[in-house]
Structure 1
Amino acid sequence: MNSTAEVLDRVAADLAAVLRADALVGLSDAEKVQVLRAAGEVARLVDAVVVETVGSVDQRPAGSGELAFCGRFGCRTMNELVQRVLRTDAAGAARVVKAGKVVRRELDFSSGAMLPARWPALREALLDGAVGVAGLLAATGPVEQAGPRIGSADRLRADVELAEYARGLVAVEGDGGGSMEGDGEVDAGEGADFGGDPGTEHRGDSAPPATPEDLRLLSRVIVTYLDPDGAEPAEERAMRARGIVLGRVKDGVIPIRGSLLPETAGQLQRIWDAYLNPKVDGPPVPAAPMPDEGMAGGVRFVPTVDDAPLRETNDFLDGDALPAGDPSCMV
């Protein structure tokens, strides 16, 4: 067993000893709050250990013939491995895997050195126990959803502001004026002056450490500042993406692929259903009447549409002159 695992085993043993001693029942209210605070820090540090471990897993290139990390332990995906090892559900494992991608550091092939993570400041906050998996994903989620509309430089600026907010640090102008309220509480939209002077000073302990909801709110404010127009309307993107492409003949058939608007797809589906439904053979075709069928002394009786009494007509029809499928002309 390696030394890292041994250290974690000792921590787990110490926590188990605390629980077995039943020492939490007789604590005062102040002591229970201190225990909760310490347990929260331990939980965030455990999150950091798990996420950093998952993020450091070697990504084997496709086609190399080597088993992936999860495959070596009998699992198909990393999500399944995390579920089984951490004894968590699929959603919890997905959050861990996603957080691992946020803090993952790639290897520089030219120098062999580790490159910075995509969110370096938040990664440091995670390793310091200032933020856990929930806070990390809440802080990075809105910015990541904006995609390429937010550049790398702006993302790194947002990374610094979010990490400081997670630690409870609030941006304060150098002349003493800042966005702090008189009671020490700071609004999430004002706690970090994202558009301020790069020379802004920062003062610690000016606000409580941020919760995941606080980080998500500030991240949305930053996205609004950096991307005021937001995403392109879905209708315009759909209009540009629509189309059908016919491939080349292969084995006597022509492949087809493409994207249709919902209303066009609905019309096409109805046409296909009309032709391909095995229970539909089209409208029934009535049989042609015999020459003497329906006749009485040269008089033909024709029913009316509105259920009126039968009317008489002396118009003799020759053979198959009745129009097929017309109920008003059927004998």
Structure 2
Amino acid sequence: MDRNSRIFVAGHRGLVGSAILRRLTEAGYTDLVLRDRSQLDLTDQAAVRAYFDREGIDHVILAAAKVGGILANERSGAEFIRDNLLIQTNVIDAAWRAGVKKLLFLGSSCLYPKHAEQPIREEALLSGPMEPSNKPYAVAKIAGITMCQAYRKQYGFNAICAMPSNLYGPGDHFEPETSHALPGMIRRFHDAKMAGNPTVTLWGTGTPRREFLYVDDMADACLHLMEHYDSGEIVNVGPGEDIAIGDLACLIRETVGYPGTLGHDLDKPDGHPRKLMDVSRLFATGWRPKVGLEEGLRRTYDWFLEHAAPPAPAPSVTQAAE
């Protein structure tokens, strides 16, 4: 990409999309094409095709998706598979039809089999049963990866696919019933602190291990891949190290300044037992993350304090890992 490339960031108001927009702006890209949901419904095939035919877009970063934690996936599985299939199918096909030079599609570490060998290599995709709690989302996103690879093979379309680890940071969703694990815990610890609740109870055992990447590092990796990666093989994006959810909760409690105790609701699911990805393929291209977990948590909590809605007393159950 050169600095005058016309770049469409799909989902620019979301956690990842807004970080990508910040990174592209910092890097001096000036022709960024942005549409929110009220301006362009990505589930509408005709509207998406007309948009691409009209705009003359050079590159696409497809960060638009319906996402959420365990509870959201359990309650809204139909929407997770339907909306994601529609969004990615419409955008990928319209981009190819309009002659887009390159497209980056974002998957997720949760697409890998539940009991994949650790650290998870890219070749593990579809090698075993997936985690049931997010199956509708995973099936949709795997279809998107397969579509990118099929369009590359049949049409020569330069579509690449990145598999980020669990993401967090400014712009995240902190609603207790729809958020992922990390922002959900920030909200509940904060609300418990403000309400004077003596205990915050975590879903599950606290033993599952997760790999967390600060979203601005993810955005930097996306730009790096657009400039330096052209393979049809998927590529993992993460820091290459993980942490137990119980230990993460202790870090968040310290960051928030919550003085109470932690409990565990063992009737609630843990999700994947571990999700640590092998990031050697990405690191071999010369990229490394810059923001460590403790610093990322401080930045995220500061953003939460400045931008989140005024807290209300909350129940004492905290979501488990996504």
Q: TM-score, normalised by structure 2?
A: 0.21
Point out the structure with the larger strand share.
2
Say which structure, 1 or 2, has more relative contact order (CA 8 Å, 6+ apart).
2
